[in-house]
């Protein structure tokens, strides 16, 4: 009797250890990665003959996605700023990033106004005399997850201002490109 109950006790202890291990795995970082991302990042690299560079973060906020950017090496003034269709920074002119990210099939527009816009239309970066621009805005329509998620797509900073004219804002060439990826946890 004594031996048998010890064996049962050992088995029970083994089961406790096994379930504790599973609980640890379920809460560990490996499992967290499979959850929905709450933060994304794009590192901007200069196109040929450009010095523009910087970092953009996209983080989940209460009412949308907060976009924070710091870009240097720009000519003073406004520069069109968009999410583009492809997360492809492989071409020297930035054109591999394709056109504006437009999963809802809308016209180009100004995100600060009501009315149609490409989902990727972020307006303009405004560079100061030193060539530095910062941007900090909460966009209610820009999802990090779901069918119109921005992760995996590209970001482009243009040579000229986006004047919100059709079809794509007349912002000219591309001075920096980046790819939006899932950011390392905070």
The residues of the shown chain that bind Cu ion, judged by CB under 5 A, are 82, 156
Q: Which residue in the list 79, 117, 118, 153 is annotated as catalytic?
A: 118
Catalytic residue at 79?
no
CB of 107 to Zn ion, least distance (A): 8
Is residue 181 a contact partner of residue 42, using CB atoms and an 8 Å limit?
A: yes
Residue 162 binds: one of Cu ion, Zn ion, none (C-beta under 5 to 8 A by kind): none
Residue 118 engages Zn ion in binding (rule: CB under 5 A): yes
What does the block give as tokens for 131?
């060539």
Active site residue: 79, 108, 117, 153, which one? 108
Instruction: Measure Cα distances from 63 to 66, 137, 163 in Å.
Output: 9, 11, 27
The interface with Zn ion within residues 87-116 (CB under 5 A) comprises 100, 108
121 binds, among Zn ion, Cu ion, none (CB under 5 to 8 A by kind): Zn ion
What, of Cu ion, Zn ion, none, does residue 156 touch, CB below 5 to 8 Å by kind? Answer: Cu ion
SS3 content of the chain, % helix, strand, coil (to 5): 20, 35, 50
Q: Nearest-CA neighbor of 78 among 142, 172, 178?
A: 172
Residue selected from 121, 139, 142, 151 as contacting Zn ion according to rule CB under 5 A: 121
The H-or-E segment that residue 26 falls in is helix 2-27
Element (H, E) at 17: helix 2-27
Query: In Å, how far are 8, 33, 77 from 3, measured between CA atoms?
Result: 9, 45, 84
Cβ closest to Zn ion, residue 68 vs residue 170: 170
**Given 79, 117, 153, 174, the catalytic residue:** 174
> Least distance (Å) from Zn ion to the CB of residue 16?
58
| Active site annotation includes 153 | no
Is residue 168 within 8 A of residue 98, CB to CB? The reply is no
Residue 82 designated active-site: yes
Catalytic residue list: 82, 84, 100, 108, 118, 121, 158, 174
Question: Which residues contact Zn ion (rule: CB under 5 A)?
Answer: 100, 108, 118, 121
């Amino acid at each position: 009797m004594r031996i048998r109950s010890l064996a049962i006790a050992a088995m029970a202890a083994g089961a406790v250890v096994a379930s504790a291990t599973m609980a640890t795995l379920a809460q560990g970082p490996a499992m967290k990665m499979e959850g929905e991302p709450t933060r994304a990042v794009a590192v901007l690299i200069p196109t040929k003959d450009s010095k523009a560079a910087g970092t953009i973060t996209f983080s989940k906020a209460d009412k949308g996605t907060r976009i924070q950017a710091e870009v240097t090496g720009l000519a003073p003034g406004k520069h069109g700023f968009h999410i583009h269709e492809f997360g492809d920074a492989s071409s020297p002119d930035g054109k591999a990033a394709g056109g504006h990210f437009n999963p809802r099939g809308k016209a180009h527009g100004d995100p600060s106004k009501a009315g149609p816009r490409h989902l990727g239309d972020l307006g303009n970066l405004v560079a100061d005399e030193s060539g530095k621009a910062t941007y900090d805005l909460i966009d209610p329509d820009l999802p990090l997850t779901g069918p119109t998620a921005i992760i995996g797509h590209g970001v482009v900073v243009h040579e000229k201002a986006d004047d919100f004219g059709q079809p794509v804002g007349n912002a000219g060439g591309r001075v920096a490109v980046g790819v939006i990826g899932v950011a390392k946890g905070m």
